[in-house]
């Protein structure tokens, strides 16, 4: 797809890779919270839940504001294609359904640093980061599943339909992948009626 072999290599990723990379990191953060930071169970669980919930908003915001950011310049078009447009062009390419490490690792470092600044250190930041990271893994897993597996449950079918509408009917809505919560909150549920008028994905 890309003429640059290095770019081609780093744009492809096996769907199991994020779990292999990040689960040990999250487990280490969990051990540190228990063994080094001496945080009680209830506050720790509360921070994990808060981090998980915060991921859903980050997922929505990144998808809407960053992955679908475009402007009428060569850089803008190139950025959009590399960040997300390639997925819209080839939505069932199994090696481009989860976030490449070239993207997810810098984001993880940025968010971990931000959480430490907000919470005044790792004692609360690390359990929050655990929840946030689990949310990210749920997002990657859900995204792969809705593209490659038949959904048999009512919830699974609803989430898949929501994402397929984003791909094939309304690129200006349906930014939540693991959950349509924030599409409901911000009024960006995908509209079937836009199928005939929505521009082709770029």
* Phi and psi torsions of 75, nearest 5°: -65, -45
User: What does the alpha-carbon distance between residue 155 and residue 152 come to, in Å, rounded to a whole number?
Assistant: 9
For residue 145, pLDDT beyond 80? yes
Q: What percent of the chain has pLDDT over 90?
A: 49
- pLDDT for 12: 75
pLDDT bucket at 4, cuts 50 / 70 / 90? low
- Give the mean pLDDT of 109-126: 96
For residue 115, pLDDT beyond 60? yes
- Give the mean pLDDT of 57-78: 78
Least confident of 47-51, 61-65, 91-95, 166-170: 91-95
Whole-number average pLDDT of the chain: 83
- pLDDT for 114: 98
- pLDDT for 168: 76
Spell out the alpha helix ranges (H) of the chain.
Answer: 5-11, 17-35, 41-61, 74-80, 86-89, 101-119, 122-148, 154-168, 181-186
């Amino acid at each position: 797809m890309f003429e640059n072999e290095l770019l081609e290599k780093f744009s492809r990723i096996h769907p199991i890779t994020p779990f292999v990379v990040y689960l040990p990191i999250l487990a280490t953060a969990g051990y540190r919270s228990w063994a080094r930071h001496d945080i009680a169970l209830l506050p720790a669980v509360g921070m994990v839940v808060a981090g998980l919930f915060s991921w859903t908003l980050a997922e929505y915001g990144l998808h809407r504001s960053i992955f679908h950011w475009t402007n009428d310049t060569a850089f803008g078009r190139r950025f959009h294609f590399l960040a997300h447009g390639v997925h819209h062009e080839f939505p069932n390419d199994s090696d481009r359904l989860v976030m490449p490490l070239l993207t997810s690792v810098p984001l993880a470092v940025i968010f971990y640093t931000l959480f430490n600044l907000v919470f005044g250190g790792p004692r609360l930041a690390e359990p929050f980061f655990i929840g946030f990271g689990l949310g990210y893994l749920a997002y990657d897993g859900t995204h792969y599943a809705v593209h490659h597996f038949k959904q048999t449950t009512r919830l699974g079918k609803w989430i898949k339909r929501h994402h397929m509408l984003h791909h094939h009917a309304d690129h200006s809505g349906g930014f939540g992948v693991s959950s349509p919560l924030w599409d409901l909150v911000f009024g960006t549920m995908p509209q079937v009626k836009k199928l005939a008028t929505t521009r082709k994905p770029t």
